[in-house]
C-alpha cells in the first residue's frame, strides 16, 4: 500500500477515487508513567513515556486506516494527515485520514 501526504503519487496515475478512509486510537498513559512524566516536566527535556505513547498511537491509527483502505480495494492512500486532540484529562485521540485510491 502506497501512503503519501501529497495529492498525487509521482509517476503514477489515479484511476479511481474510492473515498475517505480513517483510523483512530484513543489512549491514556499508565498512572505510573504520568507520575514519572510529571517529575521530568519539572526539570525539562523529552518525556520518553509520552513520546512512546504517541508513537504507538500513530502506528495503530495508521494501521487501522490502511486496513479500511485495503478492505475497500485501494492500493494507495493520498493526502494523509494526522490529527490529535485531548478527549479527557490524560486521554488523547490520534486520528489518521486520507483518500483511498486505485493507482494504474
Arithmetic mean of pLDDT, 63-71: 98
Distance CA 37, CA 82 (A): 24
Predicted confidence band at 65 (pLDDT cuts at 50, 70, 90)? very high
So what's the pLDDT on residue 20?
Answer: 98
So what's the pLDDT on residue 48?
Answer: 80
So what's the pLDDT on residue 47?
Answer: 74
Sorted by where each starts, the structural domains of the chain and their CATH numbers stand as 2-28+60-103 (3.30.110.70)
Over the stretch 22-44, which tens digit does the pLDDT of each residue have? 999 998 765 555 556 565 666 66
Name the phi and psi angles at 20, rounded to 5. Answer: -65, 135
Burial of 65 (0-12, 13-18, 19+ CB in 10 A): buried
Amino acid at each position: 500500500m502506497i501512503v503519501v501526504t501529497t495529492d498525487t503519487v509521482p509517476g503514477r496515475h489515479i484511476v479511481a477515487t474510492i473515498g475517505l478512509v480513517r483510523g483512530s486510537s484513543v489512549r491514556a498513559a499508565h498512572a505510573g508513567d504520568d507520575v514519572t512524566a510529571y517529575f521530568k516536566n519539572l526539570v525539562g527535556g523529552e518525556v520518553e513515556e509520552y513520546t512512546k505513547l504517541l508513537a504507538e498511537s500513530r502506528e495503530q491509527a495508521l494501521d487501522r486506516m490502511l486496513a479500511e483502505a485495503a478492505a475497500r480495494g485501494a492500493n494507495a492512500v493520498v493526502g494523509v494527515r494526522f490529527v490529535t486532540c485531548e478527549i479527557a484529562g490524560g486521554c488523547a485521540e490520534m486520528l489518521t485520514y486520507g483518500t483511498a485510491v486505485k493507482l494504474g
